[in-house]
Amino acid sequence: MEHITFIGTGVMGSSMAGHLLSAGYPVTVFTRTKSRAENLLAQGARWADTIQEAVKDADFVITMVGYPQDVEELYLGPDGIIASAKPEAILIDMTTSSPSLAVRIAEAARKRGLEALDAPVSGGDVGARNATLSIMVGGSETTFNRTKALFEKLGKTIVLQGGPGSGHHTKMCNQIAIASNMMGVVEALTYGLAAGLEPRTMLSSIESGAAGSWSLSNLVPRMLNGNVKPGFYIKHFIKDMGIALESAREMGLTLPGLSQAEALYKKLAALDTKTLQGIAQEIAAQQKGLSAPQIPEEAQTGSDLGTQALYLLYLARLI
């Protein structure tokens, strides 16, 4: 069976690599912190100490890391994936990253007899756990077809969008839609609470109508339960919005909704733990129908919370 190397075993990568193991694929894992891979190693994954060791025998190399600079270093560094992978290996970056970087990676890979796909995903931690992700792919149709069976172990909606970079451009469309929608979702909740509505009853009506969205149905319940743990980190969402705004500027576009969302999330990200805990106590004292927000002990700033935590700014009147 084809050998897979999975690099990056964070909130989503761990679940995704686990699905591949469950499907019977031999999987090698590499991540900066070995302890984050212990669960996968217990399921039968093999550990590699270096990038070179991790990719040298792999038929597929999948990366799911944090930032474009991480992707660039992994793929294009002198001892990176492209320099170390075996001929005809397929390289799949599932990080949300830069479309222009994806083009550079694809070009560098072809020069070494490799193929590269950019394949970012949407669906968050829930989609990763349930293997229901939407996978947006950029690259050649031939390489996509060779990889589709693997993608089907990870997601339900798998679409080739076009050539290199197209997957990341599609993910930018996804993030742009989510960013403005999150403001609308939080503002609806804030308005409902101020009007004295029971929030769960309100949600049961509006989520099934024209206002319905994934964020409304999946993230508002987390807000109501005081759960601000990251299914998707605010720091990563800010990174995504920055990529989208940069790409928009390159195309001569102005996206005011996205700019406003980025500003709000940056404001939340800048709050320290003490301030966040004070906000949580204030909300617990003043808001009926909501559980007290539980700020994770490991969170050093707002950037370490989940994207649903935007409601803290609104309820604390910090907008």
Cβ neighbours, 10 Å, residue 190: 17
pLDDT at 36: 86
pLDDT at 260: 98
Cα 7 to chain center, whole Å? 15
pLDDT at 59: 98
Q: Could you read off the pLDDT of 103-154 as tens digits, one per residue?
A: 999 999 999 999 999 999 999 888 999 999 999 999 999 999 999 999 999 9
Distance CA 118, CA 140 (A): 10
pLDDT at 153: 98
Buried b (16+ CB within 10 A) or exposed e, 269-294: bebebebbeebbeebeeebeebeebe
pLDDT at 47: 96
Q: What is the phi/psi pair of residue 272, to 5°? A: -85, 175
Annotate 122-143 with DSSP letters as a single string.
ESHHHHHHHT-EEEEEES-HHH
Q: Is 56 a catalytic residue?
A: no
Active-site entry in 34, 86, 148, 171:
171
pLDDT at 33: 86
CATH number for 170-316 (one of 3.10.105.10, 3.90.45.10, 1.10.1040.10, 3.20.20.110): it is 1.10.1040.10
**Domain 4-164 identical in fold to domain 170-316:** no
Q: Which residue has the tokens 């969205």?
A: 213
Q: Which of 87, 41, 100, 98 is nearest to 65 (CA)?
A: 98
Q: Could you read off the pLDDT of 72-106 as tens digits, one per residue?
A: 999 999 999 999 999 999 999 999 999 999 999 99
Cβ neighbours, 10 Å, residue 315: 22
- pLDDT band at 35, cuts 50/70/90? confident
Q: Which of 97, 101, 109, 133 is nearest to 242 (CA)?
A: 97
| Structure-block tokens of residue 1 | 């069976």
Is 201 buried (19+), middle (13-18) or exposed (0-12) by CB count in 10 A? exposed
| Per-domain residue ranges of the chain | 4-164, 170-316
pLDDT at 11: 83
pLDDT at 288: 85
Say if CB 188 and CB 224 are below 8 A apart. Answer: no
Distance CA 147, CA 220 (A): 35
pLDDT at 10 over 90: no
The single-letter code of the amino acid at 89 is A
Q: Could you read off the pLDDT of 247-295 as tens digits, one per residue?
A: 999 999 999 999 999 999 999 999 999 999 999 999 999 998 899 999 9
Say if CB 121 and CB 134 are below 8 A apart. Answer: yes
pLDDT at 303: 98
pLDDT at 32: 85
**Fold adopted by 4-164:** Rossmann fold (3.40.50)
Task: Give the H or E element holding residue 61.
Answer: strand 60-63
pLDDT at 231: 87
Q: Could you read off the pLDDT of 212-240 as tens digits, one per residue?
A: 999 999 999 999 999 999 989 999 999 99
Please give the C-alpha separations between residue 40 and each of 11, 28, 36, 52, in angstroms, as whole numbers: 13, 9, 9, 20
DSSP state of 308: G
Mean pLDDT of the chain: 96
60 has which bridge partners? 4, 90
- pLDDT band at 162, cuts 50/70/90? very high
The single-letter code of the amino acid at 275 is T
Say if CB 96 and CB 243 are below 8 A apart. Answer: yes
